[in-house]
Amino acid sequence: MGGPAAVQAFVLEFQEDCRARIARLNYAIPALDRIEIERQAHDLKSNAANLGLLVLTQAAAVMEAEALESEPGRLVRLHRELTEALEAAMKDLAAYFRPSTSA
């Protein structure tokens, strides 16, 4: 139990969870469901921090902090920034776990 395969499985689970949370935000933001926005951002922040994904962690922290009081346009911009940070983190994770071609 453990080792590289376990880490890779954990990362794959993280990626699936993030996609689901972004999908929930895609509905919560237009509906202005501030509690759901805060909840999803909080969970993204915590999960990203567990993997040391600092840019994603920070983007989620800002959205969490501003979820209850920011104007709707600001939430849309924060969502875009969070989505961009997630896409970059996913690329970084994919590159990290890509099999090496060098001997």
Return the CATH number at 44.
Answer: 1.20.120.160
Q: How confident is the model at residue 17 (pLDDT cuts 50, 70, 90)?
A: very high
Please write the tens of the pLDDT for every residue from 18-74: 999 999 999 999 999 999 999 999 999 999 998 899 999 999 999 999 999 999 999
Q: Is residue 72 part of a domain?
A: yes
Q: What is the rounded CA–CA span in Å between residue 4 and residue 30?
A: 40
Number of domains composing the chain: 1
Q: How confident is the model at residue 101 (pLDDT cuts 50, 70, 90)?
A: low
Q: 42 with 82: CB under 8 angstroms?
A: no
Residue 19 is classified by DSSP as H
Q: Is residue 68 part of a domain?
A: yes
Q: Is residue 103 part of a domain?
A: no
Q: Is the pTM of this model over 0.85?
A: yes
Burial class (CB in 10 A: 0-12, 13-18, 19+), 98: exposed
Q: What is the rounded CA–CA span in Å between residue 42 and residue 21?
A: 10
Range of the domain at 47: 3-96
